[in-house]
A and B are shown apart, each in its own frame.
Chain A
Amino acid sequence: MTKAASALNPPPAALGRSPRVPETLDDLRAKIARIERKPRTFDAPADGDAPWRMGVAEMDCRLGPLGLAADGVHHYQAAPPEEGPPLTMSVASTQAFMLAVAAGRLAQFAPPVPPARGHAPEPDILWCVRASFAREFGRLSRAGLRAFGLDPDRVLIVEARRDDDVLWALEEALRSRAMRLVAGCISDVALTPARRLALACAEGATPLLMMTDPRASPVAAAATRWRISPLPSAPHPLCADMPGAPRFSVRLERCRAAPLAAADQSPVALEWCHDTFSFRMAHEFSDRTFAPDPAPGRRSEPPGRVIAWPSAA
């Protein structure tokens, strides 16, 4: 029974050794969860129905079988400046991480149909900040978006004057169902607006990525909460003087869907690959030689199955 339980809900350490996420059982669970949350009559699975994952096993096993909630609030916070890099940098890093996550979400949809000649493409992402925030921390750049595999013509930028306007715009965008993803930066979110945003996410079946100030209180209704800061990169593979792929120190502080799996609060070092537009483990961590396995026979078995074997005695 203990064995069965550990196989169904394996501790992250066990998965660290075999970085393959169990599929069959998780997919079934995801399906059941979807059926329970929003009953569908006969629709074929649409775009973007697959669980939204980070693409890195270490991160995905903390997120639980459902992955990131496609209709929830994901709360990002930069690391406070006393923990290392200056605020400007950790805020930029957090925003970049949000862009990368957004790119991962958009990649789940079929590539957009190119618009007819003379028509602008329809935007998929709404990026909403306070105007003063954009002035201080920099404006989203058209050329820079390409490094995340995002099409600048599909981004709608909203610069509101006040935090209240940002909240309103985020909620409108979520409820309109016009966007595939909504992202916003705001100084702080009180309890009621946070709840409203979460409801709007569920109603519009649209995810919201939200960044608040490093010291703001946690957003109550968030599906996940993250703490991001930049990490020094490894040397470039071709030239040791040049920085390699950008790295993030990512800490999943909370995950409502898998509270136990996310209990491991240690930060994970992720690298963003500008060529494949995907995350990977920073290789100092992923290329570690494994400790000698105490039970060599177990590693070959795929997880997610209940296997009985005779006791060691």
Chain B
Amino acid sequence: MSSHGHRPHEARIRAPFALAHGTARGVIITAVNASARKAGIQPGQSVADARAVCPVLRTVPAELDRDAAALAELAVWFARYGPQRGTDGDEGLWVNVTGVGHLFSGEQDLMADAIARLQRAGFGARAAIADTPGAAHALARYATNPDRPTALAAPCETVGALAPLPIEALRLEADCVLLLKRLGLHRIGQLLALPRAALARRFRDAPRGSAKARKSARDDLARAVVWRLDQALGHVREPKAPIVPPPRFIARQTFTEPLISSDGIMQASAALAGDLCSALSEASDGAFGLRLSLFRADGTTAHVEIGASRPTADPEHMVGLLREPLEAVDAGLGIDLMTLDALRTAPMIAGQCALSAGDGGPAGDATARLVDRLSNRLGAEAVARFDARNTHLPERAEGHRPAVTAAKPAGAQSQSPQALLDVPLPDQALRPAFLLPAPEPITVIAELPEGPPARFQWRRLSCRIHRAIGPERITPEWWRALEAYRDSEAARAAEEADADTASAGKDPGGAAETEPVCATTGLPGRVVTKSAVPRVRDYYVLEADHGGRYWAFRDGLYQREAEDGAPQWYMQGVFG
């Protein structure tokens, strides 16, 4: 059986509508709806041509890869009509329904069932059943129409069914079809009437070019036509590769008496985890995403989803992860069905077990379990590892990444070519143990034009500095300076445009208010100036007279006050 489908949403849009895809030849229409087709628009046309025909045509960019994924999913669902099934081109499906028809009280009813189900799901579809895949392909596309969406070629009547169809139905290349039509061959029946030797001879004078190229192209054409014809008639085999859906690991258990107590639910989930894990370990797989679905007696469902940092096939660990979220689940009238579904699986790499059960130092497995337990209760973001960023600005260089996603190690970046830029800090560079989330403005009494502060006030406490190390100069990231320059240019252009439009009668006072946050450095307290580029920072380690050490910096230089605005002091971190 072969069937031929349209997109679900296409049928619902009444106005002319098409999907377009940019190619080397321009933007080409890939699919159209019924009213667009009525207006004379065909897939393969360019959008400009189509608009000329139908000015009200609405187009949306086609997402070909998502279409293909959806088609593959639909092919998996077609298992109800036969285990061997697959996708046929980018708009068709095929199923081997040999010996299946009687289960649906006849092959005609089988097709009707499939089309009805597809229509309910929002797909327009046509279907055909024939002896060979080639014939079914041809019939599904050229022997059906929206009013009569099915075609059936009775066994051994393929020749009769194919004869009236146009030669396009043979899955030939477009230029080949054109050539055949030029030769006066419009129907498959005409081709069938020709003797095979004569068919090949017909192409003798066809393509232009050098004698040798002409000959080889001619031979290819002849071979393609004969081959496709033989495929459709079943004279040559046409092997099809059925899709193999990924294995799904799911454990389910029904209960005659609905479960109400949380102990019962815990025990049942432990049993499910045991079943799932034995299936997983048979396939040498592990799950790192699990969903426990609890179907209540009143028809409602509760889902519990958990994640693990590395694939696991250990029921104890799964139960441990499920315990916390299960406590929050309301059993309601009782639970009569539970399923445990492995949402994401990956092959498990067999690990070395500890020789003795004693303390062999921190084991990687124990760490992964701890990370899983913490992340599932506190949230994945709350449990983090340090992440190295490729910059030297302190607040940007520091980052956290969830420990659950630790599959990508911090060291992996050092293997990327970009990491060649990642120059380690010099040994002398002093960095505080604790960094404030964002630099906080401080007021200082400092020497001009440069020098450490003698006093500063931070968080309403005044400190006298008695010793200082510095300055350590950190220049802005030049590439960001470039971006900021472009942004500011764009902003200025936009402002000018705004001013032009608003000059008619808008209050000029409203436009003058700007957020007192520097857009480029992210530092509060400085109004965006015209040349809002990041400034040079001079960092100082300041030791107050009580012994506490601070890490503060001056953003900007007094020497460049005229160009960049007045320097501003910030507190960034504290040493121990």
Contact with A along B367-397 (1 / 0, CB 8 A): 1011101100110001111101000001001
B430: A residues at CB distance < 8 A: 147
Is A199 among interface residues, defined by CB-CB distance under 8 A?
Answer: no
**A99 contacts B433, CB within 8 Å?**
yes
Most buried by A among B378, B432, B544, B545: B378
**Contact B575 A96, beta carbon cutoff 8 Å:** yes
Asked whether A43 lies within 8 Å of B358 as measured between CB atoms, the reply is yes
By a CB distance below 8 angstroms, the chain B residues around A241 are: 467-468
Are B434 and A139 in contact (CB-based, < 8 A)? yes
Q: Kindly supply a per-residue 1/0 record for chain A positions 151-168, scoring 1 wherever the CB is within 8 Å of any chain B CB and 0 otherwise.
A: 011011111110001001
Tell whether B562 is near chain A: CB-to-CB under 8 Å. no
Closest Cβ of chain B to A112, distance in Å, is: 9
Q: Looking at the complex, which of A10-18, A230-238, A295-303 is the stretch in contact with chain B?
A: A230-238
Within the complex, the shortest CB–CB distance from A106 to chain B, in Å, comes to 11
* B465-502 interface (Cβ within 8 A of A): 466-469
Q: Cβ of A140: which chain B residues have Cβ within 8 Å of it?
A: 433-434
The answer to whether B377 and A122 touch across the interface, beta carbons within 8 angstroms, is no
Whether the Cβ atoms of B431 and A118 lie closer than 8 Å is no
Instruction: Report the interface size for chain B: residues with CB under 8 A from the other chain.
Output: 63
Which one of B358, B469, B576 lies within 8 Å of A92 (CB-CB)? B576
Closest residue to A148 on the B side, CB-wise?
A: B433
Chain A residues with Cβ under 8 A from B410's Cβ?
A: 120, 153
Q: B362 contacts A144, CB within 8 Å?
A: no
- Chain A residues lying within 8 Å of B429, measured Cβ to Cβ, are 143
* Docked pose: A158 CA to B379 CA in angstroms: 10
Chain A, Cβ-Cβ closest to B429: A143
Say yes or no: B434 contacts A92, CB within 8 Å: yes
Known: A139-B435, A144-B434. A177 touches B377 (CB 8 A): no
Which residues of A, 219-252, contact B by the 8 Å Cβ criterion? 229-233, 235-236, 241-243, 246-248
Task: Report the separation of the CA atoms of residues A145 and B385 in the bound assembly, to the nearest whole angstrom.
Answer: 13
- Chain B residues with Cβ below 8 Å from A231 are 547
Answer yes or no: A138 CB below 8 A from chain B CBs: yes
Whether a CB of chain B sits under 8 angstroms from the CB of A6 is: no
Bound form: Cα–Cα A236–B367 in Å: 42
Are B385 and A157 closer than 8 Å at their CB atoms? yes
Query: With the chains together, A121 CA to B403 CA distance in Å?
Result: 11
B467: chain A residues at CB < 8 Å are 233, 235-236, 241-243
C-alpha spacing A172/B386, complex, angstroms = 21
Shortest C-beta distance, A120 to chain B (Å), equals 3
Shortest beta-carbon distance from B357 to chain A in Å: 11
Please state if A138 and B398 are interface contacts (CB–CB under 8 Å): no
In the complex, A230 Cα to B576 Cα: how many Å?
Answer: 8
Do A243 and B543 touch (CB < 8 A)? yes
- Docked complex Cα distance between A46 and B358 (Å): 11
Report the stretch among A59-67, A82-90, A190-198, A259-267 that lies at the interface: A82-90
Q: Is the CB of B435 within 8 A of A178?
A: no
Knowing A158-B382, A177-B359, A178-B367, the reply to whether A141 touches B432 (Cβ < 8 A) is yes
Knowing A143-B397, A143-B431, A178-B362, the reply to whether A120 touches B370 (Cβ < 8 A) is no
Could you tell me the distance in whole angstroms from the C-beta of A65 to the nearest C-beta in chain B? 23
B271 close to A (CB within 8 Å): no
Contacts of B367 in A (CB 8 A): 122-123, 156, 176, 178-179
Which residues 70-112 of A have a CB within 8 angstroms of B?
Answer: 84-86, 88-90, 92-97, 99-100, 109
List CB contacts (< 8 Å) of B503-551 with chain A.
Answer: 541, 543-549
**Is A205 located at the chain interface by the 8 A CB criterion?**
yes
- A135, B436: Cα distance in complex, Å: 7
Contact present for B398 and A122 (CB under 8 Å): no
A173 touches B (CB below 8 Å)? yes
Instruction: Write out the residue numbers on chain B whose beta carbons fall within 8 Å of the beta carbon of A86.
Output: 459, 461, 463, 546, 548
Complex Cα distance A285/B461, Å? 31
B385: A residues at CB distance < 8 A = 120, 123, 153, 155-157
Closest beta carbon of chain A to B309's beta carbon, Å: 10
Contact A95–B437 (Cβ < 8 Å): no
**A144 and B469 in contact, given A95-B434, A120-B385, A158-B374 (Cβ under 8 angstroms):** no
Sort A-B residue pairs by CB-CB distance and give the 8 closest, nearest first: A96-B576, A138-B434, A89-B548, A120-B409, A143-B431, A230-B547, A144-B433, A178-B366
